[in-house]
Amino acid sequence: MKKSILIYILFISLNSYCQESYNFECVIHPEKTYSLEMNILSINETTIDNETKKSESITNVKRVTTTDKANQEGLFPATMKFGNIKVIGDGKEALNPVSNTILKGLLAKDNKFKIDTIINPNLDLQTKNALKSVFKELKSDIDFPKKSLKIGDSFEHKIPTNIPLNGEQIKVLITKTFTLKSVTKNIAEFTLTEKITLNMPSENITASGEGNGIVEFNIAENQIVKDISHFTINLNLATQNGNIKGFVKSDSEKITLIE
């Protein structure tokens, strides 16, 4: 009996020791084309005195980033082209001013993007400077850990954000937990769970929510190729005139093709 237990323990130990581990770091490579399409559905509801106001919007973004051959310093020219950035809400469709903008510059191995040219005659200087600031580093939305991960390992990503409710800015904390589920043909799949909590001291405000999703990471290309998530948030603001309730729902999908 004791011998069987020892053999079992030895088997488990060897299995854990031999399990392959993987490193996850998002890197833009030279001589590649990255085609991103992102769709976001947002629903917001506010209920005051049993009267509910609802707004819904759909955002579609298309962007293609092309990189050239690296020079001796490891820098390589990069061009980022935006397609039409559509926003549909209240039965109307509008184009974001950044639509059809072209950004050109040099990329480094650490994803630093030094933009020297912005092509769009409809953008003012303030918007151009804002674009340079936003895209000065092409890093991932997900902060992967520096250590290697094995199947079944998890890590957290905390995102503080504000949600408007009846003129108030409600601070919430979104805690995302990613768990490495599988690796097949260089594609690592993570499951995602989200928990939303209030992130401010208050006696008259409550906030709670949850979400889920999946993320696929191409290990050979060092890039996230699929990021799908869904979450809901419930808010409650107690006032002298009664309770104000808020509801937020978001469904997002980001797909990247690499050539």
pLDDT tens-place string over residues 166-198: 888 999 999 999 999 999 999 999 999 999 999
Q: 3-7, 108-112, 207-211, 239-243 — which one is most confidently predicted on average?
A: 207-211
In a domain, 250, yes or no: yes
In a domain, 222, yes or no: yes
CB 212 within 8 A of CB 192: yes
In a domain, 223, yes or no: yes
Q: Which pair of tokens denotes residue 204?
A: 């008259």
Q: How many domains does the chain have?
A: 1
Q: Which pair of tokens denotes residue 76?
A: 């390589």
- pLDDT for 12 beyond 60: no
What pLDDT score was predicted for residue 8? 46
In a domain, 148, yes or no: yes
**Bridge partner list, 106:** 77, 114
CA distance 38 to 70: 28
Give per-residue pLDDT as tens, 185-236: 999 999 999 999 999 998 899 999 999 999 999 999 999 999 999 999 999 9
Residues in CB range of 29: below 8 A, 6 or more apart: 67, 221, 222
pTM here is 0.88
In a domain, 5, yes or no: no
**What three-state secondary structure class fits 97?**
coil
In a domain, 1, yes or no: no
In a domain, 7, yes or no: no
Q: Which domain holds residue 192?
A: 20-258
In a domain, 8, yes or no: no
